[in-house]
Amino acid sequence: MLQENTENRDDLLATVLSLTAEAAALEGRIQMLREELAAVDARTGAITESLRRLAPFDADTSADSAKAEEGRLRFAHGRRRVDIASRGCGRPATGRR
pLDDT tens by residue, 5-44? 778 899 999 999 999 999 999 999 999 999 999 999 999 9
Nearest by Cα to 87 from 97, 77, 79: 97
How many other β-carbons are positioned within 10 Å of the β-carbon of residue 87? 14
Q: What is the largest CA-CA distance in the chain?
A: 108
Q: Is the pTM of this model over 0.85?
A: no
